[in-house]
Amino acid sequence: MRRVLLTVFLSGIALCGWFPSQLRAADGEVEIGRKFSLVALSQLPLVRDYTVQRYVEQLGQRIVSHLDHPEFPYQFSVVQEPHLNAFSVPGGYIYLHSGLLLQVSSEDELAGVMGHEIAHVQGHHAMRQQQDTKWTSYAGLAAMALAIINPVLAAGASSAAALTQVGYQRQLEEEADYRGLQYMRQAGFDPYGMPRFLKKMWAEEHLNATDIPPYFRSHPLSEDRLSYIERTLRTFQWNQTAPSNDFVLERVQAILRALQEPRAQVIADYQRRVTENPDSPQALALLGSVLLRYNEWEQARQILEQASAKGVRLDRDLALAYLRLGQRDRARQLFARQSEVDPEDADARSQLGRLFFEDGDLKRAEHECRAALEIDPRLDEAYLTLAQVAERRGKRGDSLMLLAQAMELQGRLEAALGQYQKATAVFGPGHPQAEEITQKTEELEQLVSVLRRQGTH
């Protein structure tokens, strides 16, 4: 349902001219991507589990870090949808459906999809396709970005005739394959992961011809394209390696199953793994991760402690279990240990900040939350804690700004707008941030107005 609403919304912004028709290419792409991401926060069922979000972000950034000249600051997100799909939006925004993550058999296969999508963005393919099809506005390009989520709905809801040609042209697909293979190789992944995944999905498509995955609607696959990929691999004479068996990917898949599949079946599946592998700490850790997501706090604690004793430590998950059970001191110890072992774990630092705030230690609370946001600027809980710290210190305007940022990240755009408006009144026109707040307020006013008219907010 949300995809239908989002499609209608983008049709609305096309009519109201929300996207300027004349922008420099790179600036225009960044603007489209940023505004699309705001709509996505509000309208798409994004996965907010930190373990999942962090895994996808780190995997994507590993590829981006090996690019010679990254065109944009990339950001990676997961949409909680069972359909096999992935899409990129101009400006560096990459979205993967949870259904696709559950289908990959190795990290190399997932890297193949991500490398391909990064190549579309790096090559400005949406822009080039827009020019080739004589699209005259960035509104049409934004509608195309949504159409990759659901081409049929988007084509039916938009007046842009070019949406019927939303699938990337063969030349651009081959270019994305070629560059994607190179990006994978540069980042240390097995480039054969790309054809392995595509062949597997193509076989499933032929077995289920009536249910074509959305990914193949916007990224059409053919024997010619597969042959091109294999010829490219032979040309570079890259060696094929055995598919990786990555526990972190297995854990992400277990969590995604817990987020969208029936509880009884998922728990039974992972309990069976423990029964079949009683000495495996990995099997215990997977079961503990699943139980935690189903709010089985005590069972999760017991299983995660067993996994830890056998050598697989998931201190952040274990800390969350203790926190939910009301054992704050033990939770704090585990969050602190996780922060020491893994200084880049932003959520552990954010959770520590929350505990310090609740204990009245505002200085340490602020330190941990700001450190968390330096690592991951999308942590809404860190902004919420900082807002409360500022409020307790009597900094009303700062508190409102931080609260607005948290609500924006949560997709609560109308509530965020209200906080920005209050901050404007508190700060006054002479404040150093006045211009920034005014721009943000005007942008959200326009966005919320469109959402209200379309009945999507």
Instruction: Write out pLDDT tens, residues 19-33.
Output: 444 445 566 788 878
Instruction: Write out pLDDT tens, residues 367-379.
Output: 999 999 999 999 9
Name the one residue in this structure whose structure tokens are 């996808």. 56
Whole-number Å distance between alpha carbons of 433 and 413 = 20
Supply the angle between the helices 413-427 and 25-43 in degrees, to the nearest 10.
110
Nearest to 43 by CA among 77, 1, 13: 1
Domain ranges of the chain: 2-236, 262-342
Whole-number Å distance between alpha carbons of 196 and 250 = 18
- Percent of the chain at pLDDT > 70 equals 79
Nearest to 6 by CA among 451, 439, 453: 451
Instruction: Write out pLDDT tens, residues 292-344.
Output: 999 999 999 999 999 999 999 999 999 999 999 999 999 999 999 999 999 99
With a cut of 90, say whether residue 49 has pLDDT above it.
Answer: yes
**CATH code of the domain made up of 262-342:** 1.25.40.10
Whole-number Å distance between alpha carbons of 85 and 146 = 12
Instruction: Write out pLDDT tens, residues 122-179.
Output: 998 777 766 544 443 434 444 554 554 444 444 444 434 333 344 567 788 888 999 9
| Least confident residue range of 161-170, 387-396, 401-410, 419-428 | 161-170
Contact 90, 128 (CB under 8 A): no
With a cut of 80, say whether residue 18 has pLDDT above it.
Answer: no
The pTM of this model reads 0.88
Name the one residue in this structure whose structure tokens are 């559950």. 102
Q: What is the pLDDT of residue 125?
A: 78
- Tokens in use for 16? 């109201």
Instruction: Write out pLDDT tens, residues 100-123.
Output: 999 999 999 999 999 999 999 999
Contact 368, 350 (CB under 8 A): yes
Whole-number Å distance between alpha carbons of 48 and 80 = 9
Nearest to 288 by CA among 298, 279, 277, 278: 298
As to burial, measured by CB atoms within 10 angstroms (0-12 exposed, 13-18 middle, 19+ buried), residue 391 is middle
